[in-house]
Amino acid sequence: MSHLRRGKRKVYFASIADPSTHRHIMPISVIDLYRDVLPKTNCRDCGFPTCLAFAGKVISEKFPLEKCPHISPELLERTTRVLEEQYASGKWLKKDPAQDALKWARERASSMELEDIADRIGATVRRNGNEVFLELPYFAGRLIITKDSIKSEDGSELNRWEQVFLYNHMAQGGSSDPRGKWKALEELPNTVSKVKSMQEQVEEPLVQCFEQAYDDALANLEKIGGKKTDDAGVDCDFAYLLRPLPKIPVMLLYWRGDRKEGLEPRVKLLFDETIQEHLDIESIIFLSERIRELICGQQKPT
Ligand code: SF4
């Protein structure tokens, strides 16, 4: 095996980075990088406590190799070339579930023409020269949907899970308007497996938010377009109607409770009976969690 020498150490993958050898390009592992390229002094100049930790970040998360200032320019260039090929092939890169899901959801929606989707999801078709885009009401704001992107009207990126949710909504295929018949998740077909998630990840945390910061939670609820309503047809302390998407209204019911009397406070989300035409069960849970985040003032990871 041909090799370079770096001090007294052999650099075994050097030949594969050298096009003149015409040899098969082998990927660099964390150990290869640590053993053959890094100085192993654990000096911390890269911001990591050890050279091995740094090597792990470079291989699995594309952390820039040049952040180690103690690699000779020639070795840095040669190694970077191999790493670029390795990254392109996805070898040893940490899986990014949000990216994978977004790719899948985009592909699912990409075969549809925006004009054909508009009516179905309650969006408006707009044109900018030859470019067609959709304007879609979303909570209290608007989204701009082009062939390649979904952004807020101020141009800011939505987080990737939110984009997956919206692409799935676009691809779902339902066209009914809401009928005003409200159902709890457990009253909808095939939702048994998600009822616990709804309670534990949405309704119980919302109860805590209202108990700990009632005014803030109410202000947030109104900020995202919630309107108080007397049309819930249920005896509760208050009901708010939300319209996260044009075809998808959500009703939030709140009971203050009285613990001294043994009455626990409660929150319940209700959905129009047509919701499953527009969202699959995972997306209903995503939307409910998003509502919880917005009311409780939390942010979702990108
Ligand atoms: S700067 Fe280089 S030598 Fe120092 S700890 Fe990081 S990888 Fe190791």
**Model confidence at 295: pLDDT above 70:** yes
Is residue 244, in this structure, part of any structural domain at all? Answer: yes
Q: Which residue, judged by its Cα, is nearest atom 2 of ligand 1?
A: 68
Q: Which residue, judged by its Cα, is nearest atom 4 of ligand 1?
A: 43
For the segment 277-295, the average pLDDT, to the nearest whole number, is: 94
Asked whether residue 168 falls in the same domain as residue 262, the answer is no
Asked whether residue 209 falls in the same domain as residue 156, the answer is no
Enter the DSSP assignment of 252.
Answer: E
Residue with the two structure tokens 């005896």: 235
Asked whether residue 160 falls in the same domain as residue 191, the answer is no
pLDDT at 138: 96
Angle at 254 between CA 192 and CA 292, to 5 degrees: 65
pLDDT at 187: 95
**Model confidence at 60: pLDDT above 70:** yes
Does residue 161 have its Cβ closer than 6 Å to ligand 1? Answer: no
* Lowest mean pLDDT segment, chosen from 24-38, 52-66, 70-84, 211-225: 24-38
Give the total number of structural domains in the chain: 3
pLDDT at 229: 94
pLDDT at 93: 76
Is residue 167, in this structure, part of any structural domain at all? Answer: yes
Distance 74 CA to ligand 1 centre (A): 17
Asked whether residue 44 falls in the same domain as residue 66, the answer is yes
Three-state SS for 96-117 is CHHHHHHHHHHHHHHCCCHHHH
Is residue 266, in this structure, part of any structural domain at all? Answer: yes
Q: Which ligand 1 atom minimizes the distance to the CA of 43? A: 4
Residue with the two structure tokens 């309704």: 203
Is residue 302, in this structure, part of any structural domain at all? Answer: no
pLDDT at 219: 96
**Model confidence at 257: pLDDT above 80:** yes
Joined tokens for residue 103: 């790719």
Q: Which residue, judged by its Cα, is nearest atom 8 of ligand 1?
A: 51
Asked whether residue 165 falls in the same domain as residue 267, the answer is no
Radius of gyration of the CA atoms of the chain, in A: 26
More confident residue, 132 or 17: 132
Q: Examine the fold and report which residue of 114, 146, 172 is the final residue of a domain before the chain moves on.
A: 172
| Amino acid letter, 85 | E
With a pLDDT cut of 90, the percent of the chain lying above it is 59
* Alpha carbon distance 102, 150 (integer Å): 11
For the segment 37-54, the average pLDDT, to the nearest whole number, is: 92
Per-residue pLDDT band at 299 (split at 50, 70, 90):
low
Q: Are 172 and 280 in contact (CB under 8 A)?
A: yes
Strand order in the sheet with 131-138: 124-128, 131-138, 141-145, 150-152
Distance 34 CA to ligand 1 centre (A): 10
**Model confidence at 108: pLDDT above 70:** yes
Asked whether residue 143 falls in the same domain as residue 190, the answer is no
Distance 51 CA to ligand 1 centre (A): 5
pLDDT at 3: 40
List the domain range (segments joined by +) for residue 266. Answer: 182-296
Three-state SS for 115-128 is HHHHHHHCCEEEEE
